[in-house]
Amino acid sequence: MTSLPITFVVAFLLLLLVAAYRPQFKETPTGDVFALVLYVNAISLVLIGLRWSKDMVGLLPIVATLAVISSALLYLAFCSLGRRGPVIVVERDWSHLLPIACVALSAMWFRQWVDFSLIATKCLYITLFIRLACNTSNSLQLVRLSWLSNTQRALWGAIALLFAGIILDVTIYIDFARFDGQHAESLVGIVSFGTLLLLGWIVVQAARGRTLDTAIEAHLEHTPRKNPATDVKSVSPESTLGPALKSATDTTPDAAIEPDTAELVSQLTTLLIDDGLYADTELNLQRLARKAGVPSRIISRAINAQTGQNVSQWVNRARIDAACHLLQTTQLTVSNVMLESGFVTKSNFNREFRRIKGCSPSEWRGLA
């Protein structure tokens, strides 16, 4: 089978994926950019198929440029999971135009360097992605805590995707050097099928994790909530936290605020459990930090030091405990228990429940 039908089939699958998840993509500007990544790669696949089947070498500059644009868009989309405002701001993100221009110029006028410039660009973005992955307390702080583990896996999946692209580029270069490109067409078709399916999974996982847009979130922040399990209203952090923590902000240096770790985690637990914050399906690290009046990096470090868990695991344990209480004391369906305890999807709820309790929610209700 030639690469043309494979690349066209994968391009068609990517477009179907965008159509299927269009409501989720439309929820936030981040979703639109993740969808744009799929569109760019679908166009690239069609051009790759035409280039190899019709020997249209003139498409090389466009294909090479689209590959870099895709990497840049994917990186900026992941960056937006940790910062408010528009996903792309020219004054802030103009530097990403440089690798795009470099690859485009080399593809048009210095084709002997195009492979090197593509590999160098992918190495650059791998480095940037690894920095994001190693600093998730800041880079993913707008992601729902119930979805954080999925988004972290998607982030590492993006790194694996770029590595696969580098391996493909090197393999094709070697094939042209030793076998006059006899296997290049098949390599492109087969690898494109696998890597683009991986890209589809990455985009769906990452795009679904972002919380509601700023306007809706601001409204929720000022709307009193009720804990469905205990009927206790959420209270402002000023009523539960000591004076030393009230004045802290996200811009406070670490050295300026060093609360006792055990005390801080105790106060966070009060916010999470007693005040019913766990039931907020839109809860993310930034919102938790704002409620507590403590920088997100300090919260992450304190919870990890005190409990040995990351923030997502810590919150999900509280949610599972609340779910167990509801399963034991009410006749709510498992789906309603899932929603009341703060989970968004049944797959995450079942996975976390089994991880913590060793069985499914239905099985636990039968044993309780």
Q: 278 and 338 in contact (C-beta within 8 Å)?
A: no
Residue 132 has pLDDT above 60, yes or no: yes
pTM for the complete prediction? 0.80
84 and 182 within one domain: yes
Domain span holding position 145: 3-210
Query: Do 275 and 340 belong to one domain?
Result: yes
70-122: pLDDT as tens digits? 999 999 999 999 988 888 999 999 999 999 999 999 888 887 788 899 999 99
Which of 177, 193, 210 is the last residue in one of the domains? 210
Are 153 and 239 members of one domain?
no
How far apart, in whole angstroms, are the C-alpha atoms of residue 328 and residue 343?
A: 18
Domain boundary (168, 190, 210) is at 210
- Whether residue 318 sits in one domain with residue 238: yes
Whether residues 176 and 269 fall in one domain:
no
332 and 345 share a domain? yes
The amino acid that residue 236 corresponds to is S
Return the minimum-mean-pLDDT range out of 9-13, 138-142, 213-217: 213-217
CATH number at residue 238: 1.10.10.60
pLDDT in tens, 221-239: 444 433 333 333 333 333 3
- 115 and 220 share one domain: no
Residues 168, 31 within the same domain: yes
Kindly state whether residues 261 and 192 are assigned to the same domain. Answer: no
CA atoms within 13 A on the CB side of 91: 1
- Buried b / exposed e across 194-224, counting CB within 10 Å, b at 16+? ebbebbbebbbbbbbbbbbeeeebeeeeeee
Residues 185 and 258 in one domain: no
Same domain (yes/no): 47, 194: yes
Asked if 264 and 143 sit in the same domain, the reply is no
Buried b (16+ CB within 10 A) or exposed e, 310-345: bbbbbbbbbbbebbbebbeeeebebeebbbbbbbbe
Minimum mean pLDDT among 19-23, 44-48, 129-133, 256-260: which range? 256-260
